[in-house]
Amino acid sequence: MAVTLLRIDNLVKTQFARFSKDMKELLHDSVYVVNVLGYIAYNFVIGAYSYWGPKAGYSIYHMSNADLVFGGVTIVCGILGTLAGGVILDKMNSTIPNAFKLLSGATFLGAIFCLIAFLFKGLAGFIVFFSVGELLIFATQAPVNYVSLRCVKPSLRPLSMAISTVSIHIFGDVPSAPLVGVLQDHINDWRKTSLSLTSIFFIAAVIWFIGTFLKSEDLFNKDDEDESTTALIGKTKPLLEGSSEASSHA
């Protein structure tokens, strides 16, 4: 039993050391960090849209079915925009710099359309411009994940996606709803609040635009098998085997 516990302890320490090493490598990857920072700013707005959008729509345009309108526009534009983003990236010749160009360009244009939408006094103009804006905004889904997967070596892909997902929620959509609520309580004008929130898309666009100037390498097909780790794992005996040996000696 003692042998088994010792081996478990050593295994945990080994895995923690490996995790720390992988995290350090991710955080020192400027391409990855810039991509995630832009994604956080982007998701900050998307999260607040999903939470406060119907409330803002009802207040500004007196929508009787604000939930249905915002939900329908988001679903349709989300699907079409995501597919379009993937197709456009393929047509552009899929590279990390091109992905950053698509991210910054689509987000910048989408922000403009969404800003104009909230300036309309009529509901029809708002829906048209907001729909176009969301189509452009959701075109970022393919390139942002492309960068996260391609800028790291194969063994880091699962961790890169996990950290990206956790980060955009912890620093993006989770705090955005209460912060926007505080802003609305302060200025008491949903149009101004919506315009202020939408302007954060420009921050995301600028961050992703910086990514186009970073030196990047596509590591998608790189073979990064750690021979020393593989050898160590190969020499490690199963825990149950060690336990049975200890029992037999006893």
pLDDT at residue 85 in the model? 94
CA–CA distance, 218 with 236 (Å, rounded to integer): 33
pLDDT in tens for each of the 250 residues of the chain?
666 766 776 777 787 788 888 889 888 999 999 999 999 999 999 999 999 989 998 899 888 888 888 888 889 999 999 999 999 999 988 899 999 999 999 999 999 999 999 999 988 999 999 999 999 999 999 999 999 999 999 989 999 999 999 999 999 999 999 999 999 999 999 999 999 999 999 999 999 999 999 988 887 777 655 444 444 444 445 444 444 444 444 4
Whole-structure pTM value: 0.83
First to last CA, the chain: 11
> Is 40 within 8 Å of 144 (Cβ atoms)?
no
* Helix (H) or strand (E) run with residue 181 in it: helix 174-187
pLDDT reported for residue 250: 44
The pLDDT of residue 177 is: 94
Distances from the Cα of 89 to the Cαs of 50, 72, 154, 170, 222, in angstroms? 26, 26, 21, 28, 21
Name the residue ranges covered by the structural domains of the chain.
Answer: 35-219
Q: Which CATH superfamily is 35-219 part of?
A: MFS general substrate transporter like domains (1.20.1250.20)
